Amino acid sequence: MIWPKRSGGLPRRPRSAPVAARGGNGHSESGVNTRFGAVLAVLLATGWVANHFVALMPVISDRQHLSTATLDAVFGIYAVGLLPGLLIGGRASDALGRQAVALAGSTTCLVGTTAMLLSQQADVLLVGRFIVGVGVGLAMTSGTAWASDLKGPAGAAAAGAVLSTGFAIGPFAAGLIVGAGESGVGVSFVVAGAIVVVAMVITVVAVRRTVVPVPASAHDLEESTPPRQGSARALSWAMPLAPWVFASATLGFVTIPTRVHTGLAAPMAAGIATLIVNGSSGLIQIIARAGKWGPRAGTTGAALAALGFVLTALAPASMPAALSLPLLLVLGCASGLSLREGLIDLEAAAPQQVRGTLTGWFYAVTYVGFGLPLLLATVGSGTSQLILAVLAVLASTAAISRTVRLRRDAHRQN
């Protein structure tokens, strides 16, 4: 079969229909919906267990008398574990199946969380956070690819929104729990672990009780476009948005709170900042879907990232809450739109047999932005402003180039 040429010169792969549309009967569609709900439960739990530690850091640091360097190491080692989890998880889910890798990731998160529940000594925190990072990487990539397999673009979009929601409510809930009493740190770890267990049980039950048929022709559709060609096209659309996902988010919930004096306890301040940033990230993704913003939402995401970097560079060293709130919202929306459109770009162009691998690569690049707060904290204010200015230029370039490319290559319709 020969597919018509696009103006960009590459043959267009037919958009993979979500499995729900392939089933052919109400029973199979119900099965898809059941599995899809289970996948979202896994992603919500993953976001929660990944980020609730942010609100616990100030309390643990005081109780264990951790140095700033040790605390930075405990926070940063999560990303060290995350990278192999992302790269291995996506590829493994393509080869072994989404469910197996998603459950393996959830189990790994549970192991790391349990270790930190039993002890908050520095060496245990380092090991536990590393293990959680690996597990989150496995669950994020396989879960996102699984959601795309089941529901197409809507699945990819929902995966990003639900993951952002988990990132948002985990630290906020942890801040509330820690503020409730001396045992708050342990209770927060128990709650996070319990949520992961519940999500795993839901997934196992959903898969055992449902059957989702996929016709043989689906494989033929995937084989009609060479994987390398489809992969290159998918990455060329998604990757320019990837750096702004967590560069924007962490600038909002890690850097900005250190420059705002609210009078709140440190765990609650961190929890509220994370809730605002990741909450607006998830909400803007829902609004973009409801409003059918289409691929130009990615342009908006990169442009908002550039605006957030500029405003942060120009803001005073100590800013009032009235200034920080709109800045957190801008950065959160930039993160959410960049994540949403990057994932949908992958779903639209990536061959299904390598979708997990490419999703892992995309997430790996997004987490490069996680290092921005640490970089800004280790340099002087003048250098920080220069770094933010350079990032603003790069984000603006991504927005402009995407706009120009969309005028000659429609890429996708929604």
pLDDT of amino acid 8 = 38
Residue pLDDT, tens place only, 270-315: 778 888 998 899 899 989 988 988 889 999 999 999 999 999 999 8
**pLDDT at residue 20 tops 60:** no
Cα 265 from Cα 268, distance rounded (Å): 5
pLDDT > 70: percent of the chain: 87
Helix intervals (H) in 210-354: 216-223, 227-238, 243-250, 266-290, 296-314, 321-349
**pLDDT at residue 251 tops 50:** yes
pLDDT of amino acid 378 = 84
Fold of 27-207+224-408: Growth Hormone; Chain: A; (1.20.1250)
pLDDT category of residue 355 using cuts at 50, 70 and 90: confident
pLDDT category of residue 367 using cuts at 50, 70 and 90: confident
Which residue bears the tokens 């052919």? 24
| 95-116 average pLDDT score | 95
Query: Would you state the structure tokens that stand for residue 347, as one six-digit string?
Result: 């779903």
Cα 357 from Cα 227, distance rounded (Å): 12
Query: Would you state the structure tokens that stand for residue 368, as one six-digit string?
Result: 């490069």
pLDDT of amino acid 413 = 60
**pLDDT at residue 21 tops 60:** no
pLDDT category of residue 131 using cuts at 50, 70 and 90: very high
Q: Domain boundaries in the chain?
A: 27-207+224-408
CA distances (Å), origin 262, targets 113, 248, 271, 320: 30, 22, 13, 8
pLDDT of amino acid 328 = 95
pLDDT of amino acid 222 = 43
pLDDT category of residue 229 using cuts at 50, 70 and 90: low
pLDDT category of residue 412 using cuts at 50, 70 and 90: low
**pLDDT at residue 25 tops 80:** no
Q: What residues are paired with 319 via a beta bridge?
A: 260
**pLDDT at residue 414 tops 80:** no
Q: What is the pTM of this model?
A: 0.81
Which residue bears the tokens 């990615």? 298
| 169-198 average pLDDT score | 90
| 45-65 average pLDDT score | 89
| Least confident span in 52-56, 70-74, 182-186 | 70-74
Cα 44 from Cα 109, distance rounded (Å): 13
